[in-house]
Amino acid sequence: MTYPTPPAESPVCQLLERQPADYRGWWWVAPPHDAWLASGQGVAVSADLSVRQAWQAAGRPALSPLAAGLPAGEASPPGAVLFWPKSHALGEWWLLWLCATLPEGSPLQLVGENQGGIKRVLKVLAALGLGCRKLDSARRCSLFETRLGRVGIDPEAAWTSFEVELDGERLALASHPGVFGHGKLDDGTRLLIETLAGEGRSFGDVLGDVLDMGCGDGILAAWLARRGARVTAVDVNAFAVAATRRSLAANGLAGEVLPGETLESDVFSALGERTFEAIVSNPPFHQERAIDYGPAARLIEEAPAHLKPGGRLIIVANAFLPYPDRLERAFGGFEVLADDRRFRVYRAVRR
């Protein structure tokens, strides 16, 4: 039995849906969650583990950009569609990666919301010496077309490093476009670390197996490892996983950096029934331009099952976010450790 293809959900996919192009076998690069895409033809290429897992669960192929080139035996696709991300630096990285990975002359379409800066791709492509033409516009989105060429810039050049001083010591951090707080220390994360440092022995008592959920550039994992914690650091973003590994290595810290892709995790998906003395996190609440409480809600709701008795969930969040009710339901109570009016640090204990 065959089932009808569901209609496109997101504006960018609605624009693509009306195109006459034959997208069979094409790569969908950095795609959104959209049933129309997932039910059609082609291959997802995404740094977001949740996207890849959704496609694979539907029997569809999905690749990570951090795998080395094309998979063994995989033919080059007829073309690729790049969904321009909110981070323009990440969009530029994707362009460099595509130019380095696919054959010269491969067709590339670029699509995005006008408010998301898709029209900037004209200047980006011109700077790389790639021509461009506009194919269509609708739903406040635009679609452009070019052909890939050799641009002489290694995608590896997108990696940067910076240093931060915390609690009287300096840490070296690796960063990549698309990683939370790219190239700087987020104010919420700083408040979280300062609060943990101020907890002194109270937090030191739980040092042991600690989970850094949503590890980003590895700042929390490195800071905790420096204090003797056995850190497991996970993130849904492959770039964040790679950044954390580099940051731990730059500071001479081992942590528990598991081999391969096992460090990538959609919240707790890769952790099985493992439990920890503490879970620390600055959980995300954005998916590109949209607010998405889903991952943070799952973190709070599922945390008790991944904490040892007496274990603690300690998170930092923007003060306006509706987490107190969720913490109350999941743990039966919580306390506010710090509040600077912009951010709050919450602690909840598994009884």
| CATH code for the structural domain at 11-156 | 3.40.50.150
Sign, CA dihedral 12-17-18-22, equals positive
pLDDT in tens, 153-171: 999 999 999 999 987 889 9
Amino acid identity at 147: R
Shared fold status for 11-156 and 159-349: yes
Mean pLDDT of all residues in 30-56: 90
Report pLDDT for 288.
Answer: 47
Report pLDDT for 193.
Answer: 95
Distance in angstroms (rounded) separating the CA atoms of residues 8 and 215: 32
Amino acid identity at 333: G
Cβ(310)–Cβ(350) below 8 Å: yes
Token reading at 271? 């952790």
| pLDDT band, very low/low/confident/very high, at 256 (cuts 50, 70, 90) | very low
Mean pLDDT of all residues in 325-342: 96
| pLDDT band, very low/low/confident/very high, at 314 (cuts 50, 70, 90) | very high
Report pLDDT for 259.
Answer: 35
3-state secondary structure 122-178: HHHHHHCCCCCEEEEEECCEEEEEEECCCCCCCHHHHCEEEEEEECCEEEEEEECCC
Average pLDDT, the chain: 89
Distance in angstroms (rounded) separating the CA atoms of residues 224 and 311: 16
Residue spans per domain, the chain? 11-156, 159-349
* 28 DSSP β-pair partners: 44, 81
Residue 253, pLDDT above cutoff 90: no
Mean pLDDT of all residues in 285-306: 79
Report pLDDT for 1.
Answer: 35
Q: Region of 333 please: left (phi>0), alpha (psi -120 to 50) or beta.
A: left
CA atoms lying within 13 Å on the CB side of residue 274: 16
Distance in angstroms (rounded) separating the CA atoms of residues 178 and 85: 9
Report pLDDT for 262.
Answer: 41
Report pLDDT for 77.
Answer: 93
Lowest pLDDT segment from 83-87, 94-98, 107-111, 164-168: 164-168
Distance in angstroms (rounded) separating the CA atoms of residues 181 and 90: 13
**DSSP 8-state code for residue 314:** E
pLDDT in tens, 51-87: 999 999 888 899 999 975 666 567 789 999 999 998 9
CA separation, residue 195 to residues 19, 84, 89 (Å): 53, 37, 32
Distance in angstroms (rounded) separating the CA atoms of residues 213 and 199: 20
Report pLDDT for 311.
Answer: 96
Report pLDDT for 69.
Answer: 62
**DSSP 8-state code for residue 42:** S
Residue 58, judged by CB atoms within 10 A of its CB (0-12, 13-18, 19+), counts as exposed
Token reading at 332? 């039966």
Mean pLDDT of all residues in 268-295: 80
- In which residue are the tokens 């940051």 written? 247
CATH class of 159-349: alpha beta
Q: What are phi and psi of 174, to 5 degrees?
A: -95, 150
CA 29 to chain centre: 14
pLDDT in tens, 206-219: 568 999 999 999 99
Report pLDDT for 72.
Answer: 59
Residue 287, pLDDT above cutoff 90: no
Residue 258, pLDDT above cutoff 70: no
Token reading at 287? 């998916």
